[in-house]
Amino acid sequence: MAGGKVSARQKMINLMYLVFIAMMAMNMSKEVLRSFGLMEAKFAESNTIASDSNSKLLEDLVAKGEEKPKEFAFAASKAEQVSLSSDKFDKFIESQKIELLKRGKYSVDPESGELPFSQMDKTSILEEYWFTGDRLTKDGDAFMAAIETYKEEIKSILGNDVKYKKAISVFEKRFNTAKVTDSEGVKKSYLAYYYKGYPAIASYTKLTSVQNDVKVTEASLYNLFLGNTLTDAVTLKNYKAIVLADKSAFFAGEKFQGRVVLGKYANVVPTKLSVQGQEVDLSKAIDSTGAARLDFNVGNVGEREINGSFTFLEDGKPLEIPITGNYVVVPRPNDASIGADKMNVIYRGLKNPLSISFAGVPDNKVSVSASGGAKIKKTSNGKYSITPSTGKVTNISASAILADGDKVISTKEFRIKSIPSPNGKISGKSGSIRLNKNSVLTSKVLADFGDFVYDLKPSVYSFDLTISGQTPITVSGSNRLNANAKNAVKKAPKRSTITIDNIKVRVQGVSARIPEASPIIIQLTN
């Protein structure tokens, strides 16, 4: 179609279509511009009403501060600060609107009292005023600085008071100046996204809406200072059922005891946190939900208490909320408790070690005793020793007083056995052995308990030496052959048999009688 010749008549028809489309676009554009103008007028009217209402609220607060200074003087002071800061920012925004009209050469119609909405289509006014390429001009920077200054002033006025945390969050969202991603996925600055490329009336309306945000901020804060925002505090939709157990651990068969209460989790940061007498570093303890993480040594086995306090700022004064609670420490399961039921044995005359504890019961609430006159002694937390002297069995009883006052008793029977006989040894050998005369003459007579469960160190202090066919020679006070025994060995015929028996031993620290060591039978090799 584009390649063929077009008649004069067709050219005229095409031109008429273009003119018609342009006229439609112009009419639609004027309607859009006028719609923005009507919206601006509504914002302006709302701002006027809000200003009057805010003035009355402020007057009410100031009056209450004078009548009841204890309850309202602090809030009235904050309200006056909010008023000054908001008025300053509102006037700055108004100056930007005046500058926009001045640069666009727009003025109010003296008959209608309205701006020429349908003519305010220029997009270059704020672009030249606030932008230079992709950067901001000094005036653009001043606009952004004014917003940030207002935000910082309001937040500084409210401070860290827990009552104002939600108000600060809403205020931050209302004046959020973070970068915005457009429909094409491009991130743009706050000014570029909301003001660059828009007709003058749209930007003018947007500035009026910012003034409206200021009025809304004032109204919400004045009401907050007056205590008029009770809905969020008392509606049950904001509460949860919270189970508070009387303690953090219970024994099997014990009744659960605790409370169910309605409460809220407050995402507020305290000014101070103290637990177990130690102040906690808030920068490390508070997580994203406002919860304080506790980190301290739990102590010994048994029921323990948690004491501390949260300190918040409310109405300009420190508000201390006590922290109370308890928990139960049970022994760490480093190993399993395994016992052979038929091997409960303790040895007469020895200090037999025992480990005795009740899970969840502190050591000072546990007592231990033994029957049959066996001596039982506590050596450390959960550790005991028992030294039986007579009898064949003893019953060891352990009792504990639980947190609820109940008493629990556990008893186990142990067999009492005598210390076994040690093995007699010479030249590192025991039993029936072969040695030459020199080894017999120079070696000590020793004894050991082999693989006995206790590491006892016996010492030989007497023994008899008998050469076959001769009278026994007794050696006393030593573990080496005396002169008589050595002479007898030297004179012994070749391949004679030497018997060392009646080997008497003792063990340091053991009061019980130690059986004689087993005899040694030596066949001489020379």
Residue pLDDT, tens place only, 7-20: 555 555 555 555 44
Q: Which residues are 314's β-sheet partners?
A: 317
Q: Which residues are 410's β-sheet partners?
A: 398
pTM score of the predicted model: 0.47
The H or E element that residue 55 is part of is helix 8-67
pLDDT at 7: 57
CA distance 463 to 478: 9
Burial of 36 (0-12, 13-18, 19+ CB in 10 A): buried
pLDDT at 233: 40
The H or E element that residue 160 is part of is none
Q: Count how many residues are written for the chain.
A: 526
Residue pLDDT, tens place only, 84-95: 999 999 999 999
pLDDT at 80: 93
CA 207 to chain centre: 46
Dihedral of the CA atoms 251, 257, 262, 267 (nearest 10)? -40
pLDDT at 200: 86
Dihedral of the CA atoms 63, 67, 73, 78 (nearest 10)? -10
Q: In the chain, which stretches have pLDDT less than 50?
A: 1-3, 19-28, 229-236, 335-336
pLDDT at 201: 85
pLDDT at 9: 57
pLDDT at 513: 85
pLDDT at 1: 43
SS3 (DSSP) at 216:
helix
